[in-house]
A and B are shown apart, each in its own frame.
Chain A
Amino acid sequence: MKSASAMMAASGTHENWIPLIDTAAREVFELMLSSQLTVPTAFEEKPLDVTAMVGLAGQLCGVLSVRCTGKAAAMMASKMLAMDLDKVGPEISDALGEVCNMVAGNFKNKVAGLSEGCMLSPPTVVTGSDYNLHSMSDSPALEVRLLFEGMPVNISLQIHS
């Protein structure tokens, strides 16, 4: 585990956090959904119409978001609850919010200093794709694009240092 300040000093950016976000997401999906995330061979520009967001405040300020299709979010809820896909309904937002919360928590636990010096907000879930997210970020978002059961899941960390 490297400290947050050491990792930032090493490159002057946060780009070396991308593998940590990737690992944090993979661990959450493996442990809580029994699902292996895979790397897409090509990027499809499908509308991702469900977005979960968790705010980070303290030593690191920003927003971690998980975006996917409604079908992927329903599949996540189905796997987390061990329910048939056609039986899940109101749990979908809660499930995606929890996934986002666990990815954010798992990520910050991988960077020494962040675990104690950074608080997480409760998750917020937005449905629909026709919106723009304006954050106070002062650097480009760190993006991880993966596939969950063949469906795109984009994880993004926008940092406001």
Chain B
Amino acid sequence: MAIRALIIDDSSVMRKIVERSLRQAGIDLSDVFQAGNGAEALGVLKESVVDLILCDINMPVMDGLEFIKQLPGVENAKNVPVVMITTEGSEAHVVQALSCGARGYIRKPFTPEQVKEHVIPVLAGKS
């Protein structure tokens, strides 16, 4: 089944790499939305419905952790799984992200195989 993904990262290069990695992981994408920070992403979600969100942590305006804290208040996105993709690799960051509602955590640098390993179970509702 084709899915609609929202990729949030302040680097346009990284957003393109994440999209390519999802495709290389064999994930069929029908639509890909992009946002440069959490606030932009909340705006996107007011207009669009997505099945998966991939989100950086360190971003200007609104960071990834604040974004996932605000996500339950967005009607279109209450139950949409979020996978963090970030250079912040400490256990504390992972625990914090998961406690805020993230369903997966990928550390940069990453391979398409790692994206597959973390995203497929989330899409299957196993994580």
A residues in contact (CB < 8 Å) with B = 27-28, 31-32, 77, 80-82, 91, 94-95, 97-98, 101-102, 104-106, 109, 115-116, 120, 122
Contact = CB atoms under 8 A, between A and B. Distances in A.
A94 B13 contact: yes
Contacts of A94: 11-13
Interface residues of B, number: 23
Interface stretch (B27-35, B39-47, B89-97): B89-97
A97 B108 CA distance: 13
Given A80-B17, A102-B109, A106-B109, A122 B12 contact: no
Interface in B1-43: 10-14, 16-17, 20
Nearest to B20: A82
A102 B89 CA distance: 11
B87 A122 contact: no
A120 B58 contact: yes
Interface string B44-82: 000000000000001010000000000000000000000
Interface of B: 10-14, 16-17, 20, 58, 60, 86-93, 107-111
Contacts, number: 60
B10 A80 contact: no
Nearest to A30: B109
B76 to A, nearest CB: 29
Nearest to B107: A109
B13 A98 contact: yes
Nearest to A97: B11
Q: Which DSSP category, helix, strand, loop or mixed, fits chain A's interface?
A: helix
A90 B12 CA distance: 10
Nearest to A90: B12
Contacts of A105: 86-89, 108
Nearest to A24: B109
Q: Which of A28, A82, A105, A122 has the most CB of B within 10 A?
A: A105
B110 A31 contact: yes
Given A91-B12, A95-B13, 7 more contacts: A94-B12, A102-B87, A106-B87, A106-B89, A115-B88, A115-B89, A122-B10
A104 B109 CA distance: 11
